[in-house]
Structure 1
Amino acid sequence: MGPRSRKRQEGAVQSTNDSSALSKSSLAARGYVHDTFASLLVPGTVRRAPLIHRGYYVRARAVGHCIHSFLERTCGVPSARRAQILSLGAGSDSLYFRLKSAGHLAWAAVWEVDYPNVARRKAERIRDTPELCAITGPFQSGDCASALCFESLDYRILGLDLRHLERLDQALAATGLDAAAPTLLLAEAVLTYLEPDDSATLIAWAARRFPNGLFVIYEQMRPHDTFGQFMQQHFQQLNSPLHGLDRFPDVESQERRFLQAGWTACSAIDMNEFYRCFLPAEERQRMENLEPFDEFEEWHLKCAHYFILAASRGDTFSKTLVFPSSELFPRVEPASTSGILPANVVSSDIQGPNLKRYGHASVLLSPGLILSGGGFGEQDGRHCRVSKFHLLSRYCDFEWKGKQVCSWGTGVQWDGRLYHTMTRLSDTQVLVLGGRLSPVTPALGILQLHFYRREDNSTEDLNIKVTKSGPEEDSTLSCWRHSTTEVSYENQKYLFVYGGRTVVKPVLSDWHFLHVQTMAWVRIPVKGEIPEGRHSHSACSWQGGALIAGGLGASEEPLSSVLFLKPVTCGFLWESVNIQPPITPRYSHTAHVLNGKLLLVGGVWIHSSSVPGVTVINLTTGMSSEYQIDTTYVPWPLMLHNHTSILLPEEQQLLLLGGGGNCFSFGTYFNPDIVTLDLSSLSAGP
C-alpha cells in the first residue's frame, strides 16, 4: 500500500470514531447508559435506530464490566502502586470523565492514545468546554511538535500511531506511565483496523511491557457466514477493511492469539453470552423496554459477530478470568452433518422483478403459481414497506417467471404490512391475518385477497382485489410474528392462530380458532400443559393438527421445543415431541412436513457458532439430523431469516423467497434471488 492509499485509509478509520461517538451520544440521550459527557465531546447530535442503540449498549456494558473488574482488584489498596488505564484508539470516548465524576480515579490515572489529529481535536474540545475542564482540574497543553496533547494530574492524551511502538513506548514513559504498575490496556474496535502483523507486534509488546497487566479488546469475528460477509463488505466500502479475521475468526483462536503472544490467562465470549450471563435480568428488562423494537434477528446476529476478550499477566489477574464459563449459556451444537442439499438460483436469466424483501408472507395458490405480499424491501428504487404483490409463475418444467401486481378496484387499500400470515382458501382467494405497520402500529382486521384472471387463464393480466372479512369491529387479532395453521375438528376446517407479539405484550401464549366457512372465531377445547409464549416460530399442518417449532421466548431467548397440537375426541391436546439428538434453539425459520419428516429451514440461533441449514426430524422416531446447504451456485451471502419457503413435494424441491434484514449499522441486505433447494436426498432420510 502506497503512502497516499495508506493516508486515505487512516482517514476512513478515523471517521469510524466520529460515527461511533455520535452513536454513544445518542445512546446516552435515550437513557441506555448514564453519560452526561458524551454529547460534550462530539459536536452535533443524531438519533440512532433502536438496533444501533442495543449494539452500543451491550458494548458499553461489556467494556464497563472489564473496567470495573480491574478497578475492584487494584484501587483502594494502600500498598499497591497507582493503577493505570491505557486506552488505545480512544477517539472521543468519555471514559475518563465518567470514571472521574464517579470517584473511581482516586487511586488510578488514564492515558489515551490515538492518531495525532484525533487526539489534538479532543484536547481542543476539552479546553473549550468549561464542564469538562471542571472535571480534569488544572491542565497543560503540549506544543504542536509534541505527542502529548493534554496533561492533567490523572489524565494524558497522546497523539501517536499505534504502529510506531518504539515512539509510543518512549512517549508513555516520558508522561509518567509506570510499566510495573497494574495496568488496564483497552482497545475497542482498534486492533482489527491494523494489519495483522502490526496488531501481533502490539499484543506481544504489551505482554512484555506490562508484567501486571490486563488487556481488553472488543472486536468483530465470524467473517465467513452470511452476516460476517456483509459486515466485511460494509467496512470495505468505507475503505477501512477489517484485518486478521481470517486468522482469528472465533473466540477460541483469539484466546490462543493472546496466550501465544505471552499473556498468561485469557477468556473471551461473544456479546450474546455476555448479555445473557453478565447482566442482571432486571437490567436487561429495563433496556428492552426503553424503545419499541422488532429487529431481533439482527440484534442476535450482531451480538454473535462481536466479542469481548480479557487477557492478563501478573499476580493481580493471572488466577482470575474476567469471563468465567457459565452454565446459564450452554452451547447447543447441532448434530454432525448428515448430508448436503444443493441450492440453485431460480430463473436468474428470466426477465422480471426479483423478490427483494423480508418480513413478507408467501402462499402456493396452485402448483404453478406463488404469491408473496407485504414485507420491507425494494420498490421503485427505494427501501420501504412493499405495496406491490409479487407473483412467481411456472411457465415450463424448470423455469419460473416473476411479476409485480398492484391491488385494484374499490376495495381496501393494501397496506404493505410485515410479519403477517397468508393462507390459501382457494385458487382465487387468500386470507391475510395480523401483521404490523410499525413496532407500535398493528395492522388490524382480517383481509381477503381475490384474484381475477383473463379468460385464457393467463397470469399476464391477473388482478388482485383486497377486501375486509369478518365483523368490522373485530379486534381479536392485533399481533404479528404469529403463525396460522390449518387444522381439522369435527370434519370442519379451522385456522389455528398461535403466538406472536403485540404493542404491549412481548410474547403471546394464547391462541384462536377461526372457522373458515363462516369466518367466525370459535372456542375449541385444548388440553395439556400450556406452552411457553413465543413469536417468530414455525407452524405447519400434520395429521389434522399443528406442529409448532422453536421461536423466541419471553426473555428474548431462542426456544428448542417442538410441540404437536394433536386432535383428540373432544378438541385438541398439547404434546411435546421428544427429539434425539436435541435440536439447537432457533427462531425466524420456516418449516414443512415432507414424507413424515419435519423440515426446519434456516433461522437464527445463538447457542452455536455454526450457521443453521436444514434440520430434519423424523416424526415417527423423533430422530433429528442436520443438512448443510451447498451455496456454490448461489450468490453469496444468503441470509435465511425473515424469508419464506414453498414446498413442491412432487418435484422434491423447496423454494426460498426473500429474506434478509437491517444489519446493525452496516445497511440493509436483501437476498437478491429466489433459490431452490433439492430435497431428493431426503427420500431415504434419517
Structure 2
Amino acid sequence: MGPRSRQRRAGAVQNTNDSSALSKSSLAARGYVRDAFAALLVPGTARRAPLIHRGYYVRARAVRHCVRAFLDRTCAAPDAPAAQILSLGAGSDSLYFRLKTAGRLTRAAVWEVDFPDVARRKAQTVRDTPELCALTGPCQSGDPADSALCFESFDYRILGLDLRQVQRLDQALTAASFDFAAPTLLLAEAVLTYLEPDHAAVLITWAAQRFPNALFVIYEQMRPFDAFGQVMQQHFQQLNSPLHGLDRFPDVEAQQHRFLQAGWTACTAMDLNEFYRCFLPAEERQRMENLEPFDEFEEWHLKCSHYFILAASRGDIFPQTLVFLSSEVFPGVDPAPPSGVFPASLVTSDSQGPNLKSYGHASVLLRPGVILSTGGFGEEEGRHCRVSRFHLLSRSCEWKSNHISNWGTGKQWDGRLYHTMTRLSDTHVLVLGGRLSPVTPALTVLQICLSKSEDNSNEDLSVTVTNTGPEDFTLSCWRHSTTEVSYESQKYLFVYGGRSVVKPVLSDWHFLHVGTMTWVRIPVEGEAPEGRHSHSACSWQGGALIAGGLGASEVPLSSVLFLKPVSCGFLWESIVIRPPITPRYSHTAHVFNGNLLLVGGVWIHSSSVPGVTVINLTTGLSSEYQIDTTCVPWPLMLHNHSSILLPEEQELLLLGGGGNCFSFGTYFNPHPVTLDLFSLSAGQQGMDF
C-alpha cells in the first residue's frame, strides 16, 4: 500500500470516530447513559435510531464495567501506587471527563492516543470549551513540530500518534513521563480491527512486554463468515476502512488465544449478548428497554453476537475473576452435529420478474403453484419503505414473479407488517393483526380477494381489500401466530401470543370461527405457556404446535408445545424434545412427513447459525440439518422471512427475509430460494421400514 492509499485509509478510519461520537452524543441525549460531555466534544448533533442506541448502550456499559473493575482494584487502598488509563484510538470519547466528574481520578491519570489530526482537534476543543477546561485544570500544549504531546494537564494527556508506529509510541510515552511500571489499563474500543493484523500483533506483544501490571481491554467485531458478518464487513469495505484480522480471529476463543500467545497471562472474552445478560442488573436492563419503542430484536441480538468485550491481564493484581465476576449463568447451547444437508437453490424463472425484497411480510399458498405475499418493509421502485404492492409467485412450468398494483374497488393495503395471513379459499385470504409502527397496531381485520381477467392471465389479476368490520381491539397485536384448528367438526383460527403497545409480550389467545367470522370462547385446560412473540405455529392433528419465540425478558425460548384437541376443548401439552432444541425465534415452521421443521431464526446461546431443526413428532428426537448455500447468492438471512412447504415437490420455498443490520445498512434477500427436502423424506421412509 502506497503513502496516498495509507493516508486515505487513515482518513476513513478517522471518519468512523466522528460517526461514533455522534452516536454516543445521541445515546446520552436520549437518557441511555449519563454523559454531559459527549455533545461538547463533537460538532453537530444527530438523532440515531433505537437500534443504534441499544448497540452503543451495551458497548458503553461493557467498557464502563471493565474501567470500574480496574479502578476499584488499583485505587481502593490509600497507599496503592497511582494508576494509569491508556486509551488507544480514543477519538472524541469523553471517558476522562466522566471519570473526573465522578471523582474516580484521585489516584489515576488518563492518557489518550489517536491520529495527530484527531488528537490536535480534540485538544483544541478542550481548550476552547470552558466546561471542559474547568475539569482539566491548568494545561499546556506541546509543540507539534517536535512532540506528539498535544495536551497536558495534571491527570490528562492527549498524544497524536499513528498506532502502527509502536516504537514511536513507546518513545513519545517515555518522553511525556509515562510510568510503564504503574498499574495500567490499556483500552482499545473498535481500534485493533482497523490495523493490519501484523501491526495489531506488534502492538499487543509490545504491551505485554512493556507493562508488568496491566489490563488490556478491547471491544471489537467478530464472526465474519455468517450472513450478518458478511453485511458488516461489506459496510466497512465501502467506507474504505475494512476490518482486518477477522478471518484469523473469528471468535472469542481465537481472540483469547491471540492474547495468551502474545504474552498475556490470563484472558477472558465474551460476546455482548452474554455481557448484557450476566453483567447488567435486571432493573437496569428493564430501564433501558423501556426508553424507546423498539421492535428490531433480531438485529439487536445479531449485533450483540458479532461484537465482543475482552480483558487480558499481566501481573498478580489483575486476576480475571475480578473483571468478569457474575452470579448469572449464560448457558452455551451448541446444537448437535449435523445429521444431514438440505441443498439450497435459486428459484428459476422464465422471466426477469420482480423479486420479493422485504422482511416482516406474510405469505400464503393459495393453491398449488400460486403464492401470495403481502406487507412488510422492503424495496419498492428503488426506495426502502413499507411495502404496498402485492407479490404473486406462480408456476406452470417455471416460477413467475409479479407485483400486483391494479387495485379493485376496495380499500388499499394499509402498510402493515408482522401480520398473519390465512387461506380461506383459492381466491380469498384473511389478514389478522400486524403493526403500522412500533406504537401503532393495525386494528382492522382484512380480507383479500384475487380475481382474474377474462383471459385468465396472471398479468391482469385484480386485488380487492375489504374490512370485515370496524376496528377490532381483540387483535391489537403483531408478531403473533394464527393457526387453523378443529373443534366439534368446525374450523377455527387459533391466534396466540405476539406483542402490543401496552404489553411487550402477550400470553393470551383467541379463537375465531371461520364460518361466521366471530370470536368465540373454547375451553383450554392445562398450564398456560409462557408468553411469547415471534414464535412459530403449525396445524397438526386438529391442534396447534407452538415452538420457540422471544419471552418477556427478551430471551429466546426453547419449548415446543401442543394445543391438543380433547373432548371438552383443548389441552396445553409440553412436548419433550431430545436433545433439547437451541432457543430461537423469528423462524418459520412446517410439518412434513411426521416431522416438525424449524427453519432458520435467531438464537443467542450458540456461536453457529440456525439451519433447519427436524423434530420427529412420534419419538421427540431432534436433529440438525445444515443448509448448503453453495448455489445461492450469499449472504442469505433466515429471519423475518416467510416459507411455504411444497410437499409434492419435497421442497421448502423461502421468501424474503433480512433486516436493518445495525448501522451497516438494510439487507434484503434478493431472490426466492428452495430447500430440497428429499434426503429427509428418503431418511424417513427408510426409518418406516
**TM-score, normalising length: structure 2:** 0.98
Aligned partner of 1:453 in structure 2 is: 452
Q: Partner of 1:637: helix, strand, or coil? A: coil
Separation of aligned partners in 2, 1:478 and 1:186: 47
Matches within 5 A, 1:265-664: 265-318=266-319, 320=321, 322-324=323-325, 328-347=329-348, 350-396=351-397, 399-406=398-405, 408-469=407-468, 471-664=469-662
Return the alpha-carbon distance in structure 1 between the equivalents of residues 434 and 57 of structure 2: 28
Distance in 2 of aligned mates of 1:557 and 1:441: 24
Alignment partners' CA distance in 2, 1:605 and 1:215:
29
State yes or no: 1:147 paired with 2:157.
no
Q: CA deviation at 1:437?
A: 0.7
Aligned counterparts of 1:153 and 1:540: Cα–Cα separation in 2: 67
Secondary structure at the residue paired with 2:301? helix
Aligned residue for 1:588, secondary structure, equals: coil
Please give the secondary structure, in 1, of the residue aligned with 2:458: coil
Cα distance, 1:413 vs. partner? 2.0
* Residue 670 (structure 1) shift: 0.2
What residue identity is the alignment partner of 1:526?
Answer: V
Partners of 1:23 and 1:651 in 2: CA distance: 49
- The 1:319/1:297 distance shift into structure 2, 3 A limit, reads closer
| RMSD of Structure 2 on Structure 1 (CA) | 1.1
Cα contact 1:616–1:627 (8 A) shared by 2: yes
> Would you say the 8 A contact 1:264–1:318 is kept in 2?
no
AA partner of residue 491 (structure 1): S
**Alignment length, in residue pairs?**
683
Which residue identity lines up with residue 365 of structure 2 in the other structure?
Answer: L
2: CA distance, partners of 1:3 / 1:157: 25
CA displacement at 1:78 relative to structure 2: 2.7
Structure 2: distance between partners of 1:484 and 1:2? 60
Local SS of the residue matching 2:35: coil
Shift of 1:336: 1.0
Contact 2:313 2:320 in 1 (8 A): no
User: How big is the shift at 1:324?
Assistant: 4.8
Encode CA deviations 1:75-124: one digit per residue, 9 max, x unaligned.
13233210000000000000000000110000000000000000000001
- Structure 2 stretches of 5 or more lacking a match? none
The unaligned stretches of length 5 or more in structure 1 are none
Contact 2:268 2:320 in 1 (8 A): no
Shift of 1:409: 3.3
**AA partner of residue 666 (structure 1):** F
Q: Distance in 1 between matches of 2:27 and 2:282?
A: 20
CA distance in 2, matches of 1:295, 1:349: 36
Aligned identity (percent) is 82
Q: How does 1:152-163 map to 2 (within 5 A)?
A: 152-163=153-164
Moved more, 165-174 or 11-20: 165-174
Q: What letter matches 2:425 in structure 1?
A: S
Aligned-residue offset at 1:407: 5.6
For each residue in 1:601-646, what CA deviation from the matched residue of structure 2 results, as whole angstroms up to 9, or x when unmatched? 0000000000000000000000000000000000000000000000
- 8 Å Cα contact 1:267/1:321 also seen in 2: no
SS in 2 for 1:105: coil
Offset from partner CA, 1:482-536 (integer Å, 9 cap, x none): 0000000000000000000001100000000000000000000000001000000
Question: Matches of 1:95 and 1:449 in 2, distance apart?
Answer: 56
- Name which of structure 1's ranges 125-134 and 450-459 shifts more when overlaid on structure 2: 450-459
User: CA separation in 1, counterparts of 2:553 and 2:210?
Assistant: 44
Q: For 1:266, what is the secondary structure of its paired residue?
A: strand
Name the SS for the 2:63 alignment partner: helix
Distance across 1 between alignment mates of 2:490 and 2:457: 33
Contact 1:348/1:673, CA 8 A, preserved across alignment: no
Match of 1:671 in 2: 669
SS at match of 1:292: coil
Contact 1:500/1:507 (8 A) holds in 2: yes
Contact 1:487 1:493 survives alignment (8 Å): yes
- Partner Cα distance (1:82, 1:282) in 2: 34
Q: Which residue of structure 2 aligns with residue 13 of structure 1?
A: 13
Q: In the TM superposition, what is the alpha-carbon distance from 1:325 to its structure 2 partner? A: 7.5
Quick one: distance in 2 between partners of 1:375 and 1:163? 46
1:275-332 deviation line (CA, Å, top 9, x unaligned): 0000000000000000000000000000000000000001211463522586521011
Q: Deviations over 1:458-494 (max 9, x none)?
A: 212111100001x425321110000000000000000
Alignment of 1:123-138 (within 5 A): 123-138=123-138
Deviation for aligned residue 1:456: 4.0
Shift, 1:410, TM fit: 3.3
Q: Deviations over 1:36-71 (max 9, x none)?
A: 000000010000000000000000000000000000
1:173-252 matches, within 5 Å, as: 173-252=174-253
Give the secondary structure class of the aligned counterpart of 2:250. coil
Structure 1 Cα separation of the partners of residues 322 and 622 of structure 2: 37
Checking the alignment, whether the CA contact within 8 Å between 1:407 and 1:465 is kept in structure 2 is no
Q: Which deviates more, 401-410 or 43-52?
A: 401-410
Once residues 4 and 174 of structure 1 are traced to their aligned partners in structure 2, the CA distance between those partners, rounded to angstroms, is 30
Deviation per residue, 1:306-361 (Å, 9 max, x gap): 00000000121146352258652101111110001000000266310010000000
Give the Cα–Cα distance (whole angstroms) in 2 for the partners of residues 117 and 349 of structure 1.
56
Counterpart Cα distance in 1 of 2:71 and 2:472 = 58
Distance 2:657 2:318 in 1: 45
Aligned pair partner of 1:682 in 666, 673, 680: 680
Paired letter, 1:538: S
Equivalence for 2:2: 2
- Note if contact 2:349-2:399 (Cα within 8 Å) is conserved in structure 1: no
Measured in 2, the distance between the counterparts of 1:679 and 1:163 equals: 51
Q: TM-score, normalization: structure 1?
A: 0.98
In structure 2, distance between residues paired with 1:212 and 1:274: 25
* Cα deviation, residue 395, structure 1: 2.1
CA contact (8 A) 2:443 2:471 kept: no
Q: What residue number does 1:116 align with?
A: 116
Q: Would you say the 8 A contact 2:267–2:311 is kept in 1?
A: yes
Aligned residue runs from structure 1 range 36-55, under 5 A: 36-55=36-55
Runs of 4+ in 1 over 4 A off after TM superposition: 324-327
**Secondary structure of residue in 2 paired with 1:337:** coil
How far apart in 2 are the matches of 1:473 and 1:168?
67
Q: Is the 8 A contact 2:346 2:631 kept in 1?
A: yes
Assess, with a 3 A threshold, how the Cα gap between structure 1 residues 206 and 441 changes in structure 2: closer, same or farther.
Answer: same
Corresponding residue SS for 1:140: coil
Which residue number corresponds to residue 76 of structure 1? 76
- How far apart in 2 are the matches of 1:429 and 1:531? 32
Compute the displacement of 1:177 (Å): 1.3
